[in-house]
Amino acid sequence: MKRMDDTGKPTVDALHRRGLMFILSSPSGAGKTTIARMLLQHDPAIRMSISATTRPMRPGEVDGQDYIFVDQAEFNRMVADEQFLEWATVFGNSYGTPKAQVKAGLREGQDFLFDIDWQGTQQLYQKLETDVVRVFLLPPSIDELRRRLTGRGTDAPEVIQARMDRARAEISHWDGYDYVVVNDDIDRCFAKVSQILAAERMKRARQTGLIGFVRGLMAD
pLDDT at 3: 42
pLDDT at 76: 97
DSSP states of 36-92: HHHHHHH-TTEEEPPPEE-SPPPTT--BTTTBEE--HHHHHHHHHTT-EEEEEEETT
Higher-confidence residue of 148 and 125: namely 125
pLDDT at 13: 60
pLDDT in tens, 5-28: 444 444 556 789 999 999 999 998
> Predicted confidence band at 4 (pLDDT cuts at 50, 70, 90)?
very low
> Predicted confidence band at 132 (pLDDT cuts at 50, 70, 90)?
very high
Domain ranges of the chain: 12-49+108-211
> Predicted confidence band at 65 (pLDDT cuts at 50, 70, 90)?
confident
Tell whether pTM > 0.85: no
Domain 12-49+108-211 belongs in CATH node 3.40.50.300: yes
Q: What is the mean pLDDT of the chain?
A: 90
pLDDT at 154: 73
Which of 35-44, 56-65, 145-154, 209-218 bottoms out in mean pLDDT, i.e. has the lowest?
Answer: 145-154
Say how far apart CA 131 and CA 3 lie, in whole Å. Answer: 25
Higher-confidence residue of 153 and 169: namely 169
Distances (CA, A) of 191 to 147, 194, 198: 24, 5, 11
Element (H, E) at 190: helix 186-201
Mean pLDDT of 166-190: 95
Mean pLDDT of 188-202: 97
